[in-house]
């Protein structure tokens, strides 16, 4: 009998009532280690009730006191780092150092949110008109929600609820049912940090829970990270239900390699960004674009032995390069894309499909795969594979290389490796992608900037964290005030500031 996880509502862990359960696997062994209850609409409603009840008291708590809760939460997460990393690795499959990185990158945004007293300061104009001052204030929206993915069960929830809660909102997190233990633990730590009951709730579930969040009129905003089709669904239906929505979807990030690049550095950076976390990152680098035939041949000759010698181990490993994938179904999906690429005419340089780890033959392991001659018309190139697969798409010149990511349906991230500052500057200015790295393989911005892709990688006008995050989780109120010394006559025309 495996343990059953429920939900976290109104400051307490509660059992599920639906009778519907989802298996949570240990990716290293392939065994079911626990299950999670999938919420009914009624359970989502209870979470919204709790958040609504908590909103007035929390939103009227002064920002400095809210910041103190965030400081304490950061301290508690740091103390619980090892436990969180092990929980994360045991359900997701990423190796322990990568799991710690997942938590740390989330804490970066919590640190940013600790500055909320400054971030919420409005604008003020004295004497905008005769005896008239104008000022603005940012106020929280109310009950808000985050629907978060399996691949970053610590980082992305903290990216969302850190800023949202600091701004004075109350929050409902609907995490992935594949690895929900870390989001549940984070909610417990938020209560320990001093947040009132109902400020942070976690409801586990599937489409039924998502639709309940979308359709509840008390939920004022939704942030989502996942596949593009679901992102579009949430964006469209959230908007129909009068919600503010930011929905981030899939990716197919390219690394452009100019002939003058330091190839040793390129290969080292590409190996980590393509195969780290078994490629299950929206900011991974699944496409390399060498410019010129000489660059391509050198790149392949240097990549092949490194891909073949990737160190693949159990998720609790401290010294492996990557661990297992999250589920057997994900392994099968990735293997299908590899075969698709071969059928499309791509050259299979290294095939990782037959990899097994001795002693863990039932684990969800896959070796690194390297493919050459991917073309824009290939379906395997157009779609997100989300596994330890690197495709090489050759370009004859700079313009061809620029066109590949610019014309792709996804526009999350892109990188260029070169010693030529003018070429890098031109590329960054012209490429039709939301985040750009120059000699940086995974261009995830620091917490006080903002994260977001273009095209089918992002739906909505406002990005995550940084100043854009504060903007998303608040609304602006503008006040025009006058304190006349004596009563004025009636005014029948629109006031002017002349």
Which of the residues in the chain have pLDDT under 50?
none
Active-site residues: which are they?
282
Which residues touch 131 (CB under 8 Å, ≥6 apart)?
482, 483, 484
pLDDT of 236-293, one tens digit each?
Answer: 999 999 999 999 999 999 999 999 999 999 999 999 999 999 999 999 999 999 999 9
User: What CATH number was assigned to the domain covering residues 3-249+457-478?
Assistant: 3.40.605.10
The reported pLDDT for the residue numbered 487 is 57
**β partners of residue 25:** 32
Q: Locate 6 and state its tokens.
A: 């429920």
CA distance 489 to 371: 79
What span, in angstroms and rounded, lies between the C-alpha atoms of 232 and 457? 10
Give the tens place of pLDDT for each residue, 41-75: 999 999 999 999 999 999 999 999 999 999 999 99
The whole-number pLDDT of residue 280 equals 97
Given a contact cutoff of 8 angstroms between Cβ atoms, the answer to whether 94 and 103 are in contact is no
Which pLDDT score is estimated for 156? 98
What is the maximum span of the chain, computed from C-alpha positions, in angstroms?
89
Q: What is the pLDDT of residue 497?
A: 63
β strands within 55-122, DSSP E: none
Model pLDDT, residue 488: 64
Number of other residues whose CB lies within 10 A of the CB of residue 20: 15
Q: pTM here?
A: 0.95
Provide CATH code, domain 254-438: 3.40.309.10
pLDDT attached to residue 494: 77
What pLDDT, on a 0 to 100 scale, did the predictor assign at position 47?
Answer: 98
Token duo for residue 200: 């942070």
Indicate the domain borders of the chain: 3-249+457-478, 254-438
């Amino acid at each position: 009998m495996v343990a059953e996880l429920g939900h976290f509502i109104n400051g307490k862990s509660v059992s599920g009532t639906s009778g519907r359960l989802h298996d949570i696997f240990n990716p290293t062994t392939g065994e079911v280690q626990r299950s999670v209850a999938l919420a009914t609409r009624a359970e989502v409603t209870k979470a919204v009730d709790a958040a609504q009840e908590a909103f007035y008291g929390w939103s009227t708590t002064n920002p400095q006191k809210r910041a103190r809760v965030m400081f304490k939460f950061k301290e508690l997460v740091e103390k619980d780092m090892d436990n969180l990393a092990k929980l994360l690795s045991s359900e997701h499959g990423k190796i322990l150092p990568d799991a710690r990185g997942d938590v740390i990158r989330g804490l970066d945004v919590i640190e940013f949110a600790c500055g909320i007293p400054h971030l919420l300061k409005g604008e003020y104009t004295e004497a905008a008109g005769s005896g008239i001052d104008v000022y603005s204030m940012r106020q929280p929206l109310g009950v808000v929600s985050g629907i978060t993915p399996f691949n970053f069960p610590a980082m992305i929830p903290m990216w969302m609820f850190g800023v949202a809660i600091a701004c004075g909102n109350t929050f409902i997190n609907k995490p992935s049912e594949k690895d929900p233990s870390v989001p549940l633990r984070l909610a417990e730590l938020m209560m320990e940090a001093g947040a009132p009951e109902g400020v942070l709730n976690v409801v586990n579930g599937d489409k039924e829970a998502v639709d309940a969040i979308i359709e509840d009129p008390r939920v004022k905003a939704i942030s989502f990270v996942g596949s593009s089709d679901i992102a579009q669904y949430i964006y469209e239906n959230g908007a129909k239900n009068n919600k503010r929505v930011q929905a981030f979807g899939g990716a197919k990030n390219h690394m452009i390699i100019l002939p003058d690049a330091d190839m040793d550095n390129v290969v080292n950076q590409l190996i980590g960004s393509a195969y780290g976390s078994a490629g299950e990152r929206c900011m991974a680098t699944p496409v390399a674009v060498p410019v010129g035939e000489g660059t391509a041949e050198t790149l392949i000759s240097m990549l092949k032995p490194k891909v073949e010698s990737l160190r693949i181990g159990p998720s609790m490993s401290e010294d492996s390069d990557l661990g297992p994938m999250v589920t057997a179904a994900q392994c099968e999906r990735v293997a299908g894309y590899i075969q698709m690429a071969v059928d499309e005419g791509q050259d299979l340089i290294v095939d990782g499909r037959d990899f097994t780890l001795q002693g863990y033959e039932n684990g969800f392991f896959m070796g690194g795969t390297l493919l050459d001659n991917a073309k824009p018309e290939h379906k395997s190139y157009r779609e997100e594979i989300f596994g330890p697969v690197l495709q090489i798409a050759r370009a004859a010149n700079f313009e061809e290389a620029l066109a590949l990511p610019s014309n792709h349906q996804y526009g999350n991230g892109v990188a260029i490796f070169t010693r030529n500052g003018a070429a890098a500057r031109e590329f960054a200015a012209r490429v039709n992608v939301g985040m750009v790295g120059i000699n940086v393989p995974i261009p995830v911005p620091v917490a006080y900037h903002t994260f977001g892709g273009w095209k089918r990688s992002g739906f909505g006008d406002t990005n995550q964290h940084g100043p854009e995050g504060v903007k998303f989780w608040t609304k602006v109120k503008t006040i025009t005030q006058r304190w006349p010394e004596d009563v004025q006559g009636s005014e029948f025309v629109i006031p002017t500031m002349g």
